[in-house]
Amino acid sequence: MDVLETLDLSSLESVDRETQQKSIRSLEEGKVIYLPKLGFALNPHENAFLTPKLLSPKSKNVSFDSRRGVHGADCENKDELKAMMERFASHANQVIKSLFPAYADHIKQGRTSFRPAEISGRPSSYRKDDTRLHVDAFPATPVRGNRILRVFTNVNPNGVPRIWKLGEPFETVVEKIIPWIHGPLPGLSYLLKTFKITKGVRSAYDHYMLHMHDMMKGDLEYQKSAGQTEFHFPPQSTWVVYTDQVSHAALSGQFLFEQTFYLPPKGLCHEESSPLKILERFLGKKLI
């Protein structure tokens, strides 16, 4: 299976129904929807934000959501930074609305992130090392079956691509990794919630997804032997991915926007290809 579904659009106006149907099918099958001609133009004064010096000392990214505002940045013109983050959030929202109108009733917008630091060569623990193949899962924020859909745009001003690796289909990852994972310990999810280690109860689905994430990253033999293809996303290109399903690794690059969305399972058009259904079929039990 080709891992990319490339769409030739340079604008989001009048996307035809056929393109929308093809896009949603490919997206839910686990492909990356790649829009090589759809960029995100910065306003001239926003070029000043294209520096890792923008980040506060312990932050890797600038993050924004409408309730908590902007975090992770040390700068004077916070209002202008917030306006840029909001503009990308609304651009990403437009991408989703135009390509996947079927999601409109159920999708929820999450955090917006701006990543002005070079990602290669950054020291980190193996669990946080996104240069290793993984599927996304959050240790502290259980999703309980909700999908993690992300829109990325490379805004590098120097012609530098975002280099990713795309791994094996989700089913293959499950077959190789899940047999090594023990089921959740009874009562643990309530302890994690009670001691505020997780926001809400970690479902069995979250347990398996998180352990899959950790085990993929921690197994260097898997990292070497898994089927994988490198892909270069050039500046002013956009891609949309279910990062809870598509095995990916981000090797290098600098200056990226990312917008996270959450979609409950009932919002999917092809639910049978979701990670939840694939895991439930493989394990022969309900996980939510």
Residue 213 contact, options Fe ion, ligand SIN, none, Cβ 5-8 Å cut-off depending on partner type: none
Nearest to 171 by CA among 222, 246, 230: 246
Beta carbon nearer to ligand SIN, 161 or 200: 161
CB nearer ligand SIN, residue 189 or residue 237: 237
Torsion angle of alpha carbons 113, 210, 180, 127, nearest 10°? 50
Half-sphere exposure of 144 (CA within 13 A, CB side): 8
Q: How far apart are CB 148 and Fe ion at their closest, in Å?
A: 9
H or E stretch at 170: helix 170-177
Spatial contact of 9 and 37, defined as CB atoms under 8 Å apart: yes
Q: How far is the CB of 284 from ligand SIN (least distance, A)?
A: 30
Decide which of Fe ion, ligand SIN, none touches 162; Cβ closer than 5 to 8 Å per partner kind: ligand SIN
Query: Which residues sit at the interface with Fe ion, rule CB under 5 A?
Result: 136
Residue 137 or 276 with smaller CB distance to ligand SIN: 137
Q: Which does 216 bind (CB under 5 to 8 A by kind): ligand SIN, Fe ion, none?
A: none
Nearer to ligand SIN, 15 or 250 (CB): 250
> Minimum distance between the CB of residue 190 and ligand SIN, rounded to whole angstroms?
29
Edge-to-edge strands, sheet with 162-166: 229-233, 162-166, 248-252
Single out the residue of 266, 288, 270, 259 nearest to residue 66, CA to CA: 259
Give the shortest CB-39-to-ligand SIN separation in angstroms: 16
Closest approach of ligand SIN to the CB of residue 102, in Å: 24
Token representation of residue 92: 């990403």
3-state SS string over 59-74?
Answer: CCCEEEECCCEEECEC
Residue 263 CA to residue 244 CA, distance in Å, equals 11
Please, which residue, 204 or 242, has the CB nearer to ligand SIN? 242
Give me the amino acid identity at 170. F
Judged by CB, which is closer to ligand SIN: 216, or 278?
Answer: 216
Q: Which does 132 bind (CB under 5 to 8 A by kind): ligand SIN, Fe ion, none?
A: none
The interface partner of residue 223, options being ligand SIN, Fe ion, none and the CB cut-off 5 to 8 Å by kind, is none
In degrees rounded to 5, what are phi and psi of residue 212? -65, -45
Which listed option, Fe ion, ligand SIN, none, makes contact with residue 212 (CB within 5 to 8 Å by class)? none
**Contacts of 157 by beta carbon, 8 Å cutoff, 6+ apart:** 47, 50, 235, 255
Q: Residue 256 binds which entry of Fe ion, ligand SIN, none, with Cβ cut-offs from 5 to 8 Å by kind?
A: ligand SIN
Q: How far is the CB of 34 from ligand SIN (least distance, A)?
A: 14
Q: What residues make contact with ligand SIN under the rule CB under 6 A? A: 115, 119, 130, 136, 162, 243, 248, 250, 256
Q: Which amino acid is at 196?
A: K
Burial class (CB in 10 A: 0-12, 13-18, 19+), 277: middle
For residue 41, the minimal CB distance to ligand SIN (Å) is 20
Q: For Fe ion, which is the closer residue by CB, 98 or 228?
A: 228
**Rounded Cα distance, 114 and 55, in Å:** 10
